[in-house]
Amino acid sequence: MSTTHEITAGFMPLFDSAVLVAAGEMGFAAREGIELKLQRETSWANIRDRIAIGHFDVAHMLGPMPLACSLGLTPLASETIVPFSLGLGGNCVTVSNAVWDGIAAHGASPDLDPARAGQALGALIHERASAGREPLRFAVVHPHSGHNYELRYWLAACGIDPDRDIEIVIVPPPFMADALAAGRIDGYCVGEPWNSAAVAAGTGQIVTVKALLWRNSPEKVIGVRKVWAEENPDALAALLRALHHSARWCQDPANRGDLAALMARPEFLGQPEAIQMPALTGRLQLGGGVEWNVEDFFLPFDKAANFPWKSHALWFYTQMVRWGQLPHTPQNLAIARDCYRPDLYRSALKPLRVALPGANAKVEGALKTATPVGSAGASLVLGPDGFFDGQIFDPDRIDAYVAGQKRA
């Protein structure tokens, strides 16, 4: 097929850019008539700035970032929409060996159980506070990130106030493991391979994972400048089809070796192939020689992973409100509701006759097991999608959910 669309896409060197990278490098974009120009960036702020001024048409973004842009929470913000999700899960919480020893003494086991690890961390924090020691310092990649919200959700559900009992700072993903080794931070929440990197270096221990805090939960997305999407509907639809085929390829276990080799290249992650594998297999080295198999650790395609659920966007919105990033108003809620665009995803994929969810939102936490759902033609399996503390998020009852949220 001849090239009919030229699309420039920004990405950050993280494993969950895989679907976008493979779309360009494995020929999926070319097959849809797209010349996809991939440009690696050094910060989310750069991605935001370059998409705002038109250097990028689309970009690999943190799930809450297009919301923050559309809600005016960041400088140089522009209206950004989300027609495609790049996957579910993929993050871990990693702590220093010293903190691990501390929480192990308070009952944590190397089994990734968020409730028990959180309780033990709470006990360690109180012990340190009574001894007059400085609060522990945790790092996340960005204030408007799934990492920030899931770390805070976990801590708060375990009785730890993330603003009062610990300190949360921002560190770029590739620097996390070094900052932990140097003692500048005591723990962090980040995507792979930056957790496995600390374990491999012998300087960190993985205590829990996103896939257990909120099962099959949203992480990175494709953010699109709204004006560009409106002016280039055919290019966007072609891109979404290319991403769909790429995501299916990335999910296939037969392609793991090729995908790891692709992501290992210096222009993408520039990290050894071996360290990409835990993200693909879900078999994590937790530290201290313990290996653990995590179900649905990172899904680039399965379980409708690419569908931009409005309930995902709205949960991010409730966390922005919870942690004081913006007030809960009907106007803000309306902006958040319009940011993720399942309609664009559905119309682009319709010609492919693949299974698509019929609803735009779901009650998060309602599916206790993997559940087949009947929808347009072929079959589709969703979930489980539970929060570790058993809470339910019903996007039709946002006021009650927001009112019921506590800081700890």
Task: Please give the residue ranges that form the binding site for another protein (CB under 8 A).
Answer: 42-46, 49-50, 52-53, 55, 74-76, 141-143, 169-172, 174-175
CB 140, min distance to another protein, A: 10
User: Cα(109)–Cα(297) distance, rounded to whole angstroms?
Assistant: 19
Q: Considering beta carbons, is residue 73 or 104 the nearer one to another protein?
A: 73
Best CA proximity match to 51, nearest among 219, 198, 227, 188: 227
CB 270, min distance to another protein, A: 14
User: Cα(310)–Cα(71) distance, rounded to whole angstroms?
Assistant: 16
Q: Considering beta carbons, is residue 171 or 279 the nearer one to another protein?
A: 171
CB 28, min distance to another protein, A: 29
User: Cα(23)–Cα(241) distance, rounded to whole angstroms?
Assistant: 10
Q: Considering beta carbons, is residue 107 or 183 the nearer one to another protein?
A: 183
Q: Considering beta carbons, is residue 175 or 292 the nearer one to another protein?
A: 175
CB 67, min distance to another protein, A: 16
Q: Considering beta carbons, is residue 52 or 240 the nearer one to another protein?
A: 52
In 82-214, which residue ranges form alpha helices assigned H by DSSP? Answer: 97-105, 114-130, 146-157, 176-181, 196-201, 210-213
CB 262, min distance to another protein, A: 23
User: Cα(89)–Cα(243) distance, rounded to whole angstroms?
Assistant: 18
CB 243, min distance to another protein, A: 25
Distant-in-sequence, close-in-space partners of 63: CB < 8 Å, separation ≥ 6: 82, 85, 145, 146, 218, 219, 220, 221, 312, 313, 316
Q: Considering beta carbons, is residue 142 or 241 the nearer one to another protein?
A: 142
Question: Cα angle at 115 between 285 and 158, to 5 degrees?
Answer: 125
Q: Considering beta carbons, is residue 178 or 258 the nearer one to another protein?
A: 178
CB 15, min distance to another protein, A: 17
Best CA proximity match to 280, nearest among 4, 13, 19, 23: 19
Specify whether the CB–CB gap between 1 and 207 falls below 8 A.
no
